[in-house]
Structures are given as C-alpha cells and as structure tokens.
Amino acid sequence: MSNAELGNMYSKFRKPKNQSTGPTTTHSWRDNASYNEGTRDFLASAKHYQCPPSRLYTRAEVALHNRSDDLWVVIFGNVLDVTSFVKRHPGGSVLLDGAGGHEMGTVFAQFHHPSTVGLFASFCIGRIVP
C-alpha cells in the first residue's frame, strides 16, 4: 500500500463520511508524544504476535471477505475474521477500509491501544502466505 493510500485512509479515520465536521483544530495525533509512544509500544507487541499457522491464506483469498457480514483483515501477517465485531467497532464502518487483503498493521497501530493485541486471539483464523 502506498503512502498516498495510507494518507487517504488516515483522513477517513479522522472524520467519518457521515459525520458532520466540528470545529477545526490544528492538533495532530502526530504531535502527541505520549500517543506516539503508545504506537511504538503497540507496534513492538503486535509485530511479535502470530496467529497459529494452522491455515495459510493468500491476499487474494482474504480480499474476497470484504463486506460487513463477512470481513477479514490482515494485521502484521495475521488473518483476522472480524465479522462478529463490525457492528461493535467504535470507529464504525471505517473497519471496512481494512478489507481487500492489504497489510493494515501500521494503520491499526495508529488508532488502537497496545492492549488490543490481546484481542487478536479471538479473531485469528490463520496467517498470510509468506
């Protein structure tokens, strides 16, 4: 995924399409030192987490599961079936932006607390073919 595509994805996370815009701010999550530290912590733990390799999937196989009623995402090589979580996701349908078999680890780390790595086991269904 290119930097431009990641930038577009970040903007979707910051302002959902169906939400009215509020007051403009110059604050950026990139300026928040503790947030960046949390992201580093997340990346450190998430990059070492691996779903059991009981099943290997290609990116093309994962890309077929791209709807709210059948959604798989790839986070640091782990394939997660997050279908049961879509309706409860605090970020709403922005979760669907992770569909398509793209590696979403870095984007995921920007918006989640390091403790969410502990939830991976509930959704793991396999790994991406190396």
**pLDDT tens-digit profile of 7-40?**
444 444 444 444 444 444 444 444 555 556 655 6
Averaged confidence pLDDT in the chain: 73
Q: What is the pTM of this model?
A: 0.65
Domain enclosing residue 86, as ranges:
3-9+33-128
User: Looking at residue 2, what is its pLDDT?
Assistant: 47
Task: Look at residue 19 and tell me if it is in a domain.
Answer: no
Task: Look at residue 17 and tell me if it is in a domain.
Answer: no
C-alpha distances out from residue 35 to 42, 75, 126, Å: 10, 20, 30
- Percentage of residues in the chain having pLDDT higher than 90: 22
- Total domains present in the chain: 1
Whichever domain contains 52, its CATH number is: 3.10.120.10
**pLDDT tens across 100-128, in order?**
788 888 888 778 777 787 788 889 999 99
Task: Look at residue 24 and tell me if it is in a domain.
Answer: no
Q: Is 39 exposed, middle or buried (0-12, 13-18, 19+ CB in 10 A)?
A: buried
